[in-house]
Structure 1
Amino acid sequence: MQTIGLIGGMSWESSAAYYEGLNKGVQQRLGGLHSAKIVLGSLDFAELTALQEREAWDEAGAILADAAVGVEKAGADFILLCATTFHRAYAAVAAAVSVPVLHLADVLAERCKAEGITNVGFLSTAYTMENEFFAQRIADHGLDVNLPDPLHIETLDSIIYDELVFRTVNPSSRRRVLSMIDELWDGGANGVILGASELSLLVRQQDVEVPVLDVITVHVEAALERALA
């Protein structure tokens, strides 16, 4: 079994879901007392968010890269960056280490193609939706990527940062996000990516008819396949 490196803390709630998913996945596949071999570098979300807001991506990238180096030195065979938005600094992270860093957008695109999804809706933080670095990387795999109506972006961002990062799940917020998914489906999407890891706390596949891809689940499953190959 390979050792999985995680760069987390952005937010810690989503990092906990990564940790739980990896360990449950190993136990399901191997049985008995088996658990995942994990090295975790957990960062201060407030510090990185402040740098993001200032567009100080060189500084944010340096912090993330240092964390990646530490995770590699601790024995990681490959690394996951456990936050969609901070894939903005993926190049700096990947350049700092000699082990693979599994880009979430690549993993999601491959999963979409495997499930026959050609036109995918994308819900995430305002920063990630208003900038092209993540959606464009998915589109580079030959997929059409649809974003929600701009009127929804501020609402969705508030739900993520004011509620879900604190593990607060409001029924009214669930209804709002489900209506956004319905709009994307009506607009032609035959699948929807929950592109902020915290959104998996709010929406489950049984809540909607259109296929939903949760970034944590997809990232975790790709990591498990690699670690146990």
Structure 2
Amino acid sequence: MRKLGLIGGTGPESTIIYYKEITDGVRRRLGRDRFPHLSIESLDVFEVLDFCRRADYDGLADYLTHGIANLAAAGAEFAAFTGITPHVVFDEVARCSPIPIISMLDTSCQYAVDRHYDRVALMGTGPTMDGDFFQRPFQAHGIDVVTPDDEDKRYIAKAIETELEYGIVRPATRKALRDIAARLAEREHAEAIVLGCTELPLAFDGIGLPVDIMDVMRIHINALIDHICDHPCDQ
């Protein structure tokens, strides 16, 4: 098996899910009791968001590149971010990285292409919804990406930063996020709601919507399991 390095802490709740679902997924994929070797470099999601607020993308790229270098020094053969917001500087980090990085944007886009979506609605952190880094690969494949109005954006971003990053899921917040998603899908005629923050699935677990839900975290996790198992060991 190939050793994976994860940039965790962006945020902790999603890092826990990545670790658990990757280890369990590899064991199921191999059909025997084997767990993969992993290294996790836990960074600070609030530092990442602060870099974005200051538009200090060079500083953010350096911060993440240092983390990737630590993973490579620990023997990781490839790496991944456990959050979407760091992908705002993915290209810059990938150019400097000593090991390949599996992009959450690429795996999500391929998922949408395979399902022949023409239009999806994106929910995520402020930098993700307000930026264009998530939208670009989708648009290159002819898929429109729409976002909530400014008031709903502010609500989603606040819910992520003040609740979901800490693993808190209040019933009122869950309902409000579900209502925003349903309203967005209806207004924009979207074929799927993209959970474009790896903490958002905490609020959408077990919630039904009139359209498909794209959980980019689990799409990414499945792709990472594929990469880990490219060269399974015989022991």
| TM-score normalised by structure 2 residue count | 0.91
What SS does the aligned partner of 1:208 have? coil
CA distance in 2, matches of 1:23, 1:102: 17
Q: 2: CA distance between counterparts of 1:85 and 1:37?
A: 26
The answer on whether the counterparts of 1:7 and 1:67 sit within 8 Å (CA) in structure 2 is yes
- The residue identity in structure 1 corresponding to 2:126 is A
- Cα 1:26–1:4 shift into 2, 3 Å: same
Query: Does the aligned pair in 2 maintain the 1:121–1:147 contact within 8 Å?
Result: yes
Distance 1:45 1:139 in 2: 27
The Cα shift of 1:223 comes to 0.7
1:149-204, Cα deviation, whole Å (9 max, x unpaired): 22200000111001000111011111111112212321211111100110010103
Amino acid at match of 2:228: A
Q: Percent identical across equivalent pairs? A: 27
3-state SS of paired residue (1:49): helix
Q: Distance in 2 between matches of 1:3 and 1:219?
A: 16
- Measured against aligned partners, the alpha-carbon deviations of 1:23-81 in whole angstroms (never above 9, x if no partner) come to 11112212332112212111133333322221111111101001111112222221111
User: What is residue 28 of structure 1 aligned with on the other side?
Assistant: 28
Q: Does 1:193 align with 2:194?
A: yes
Secondary structure, aligned partner of 1:5 = strand
Q: Give the 3-state SS of the residue equivalent to 1:133 in structure 2.
A: coil
Partner of 2:233: none
Stretches of structure 2 that go unaligned for 5 or more consecutive residues are 231-235
Please show how residues 71-110 of structure 1 align to structure 2 within 5 Å.
Answer: 71-110=71-110
Superposed, 1:155-174 pairs within 5 Å as 155-174=155-174
Give the structure 2 partner of residue 63 of structure 1.
63
Structure 1: stretches of 5+ with no match in the other structure: none
CA contact (8 A) 2:88 2:133 kept: yes
TM-score computed with the length of structure 1 as normaliser = 0.94
Separation of aligned partners in 2, 1:62 and 1:210: 39
Q: Deviations over 1:94-128 (max 9, x none)?
A: 01223221111111010112223221111011121
Q: How far, CA to CA, are the matches of 2:206 and 2:76 in structure 1?
A: 32
Shift in Å at residue 205 of structure 1? Answer: 5.8
- 3-state SS, counterpart of residue 79 of structure 1: strand
Two-structure CA RMSD over aligned residues (Å): 1.5
What does 1:142-221 correspond to in 2, within 5 Å?
142-186=142-186, 187-204=188-205, 206-221=207-222
1:226 aligned to 2:227? yes
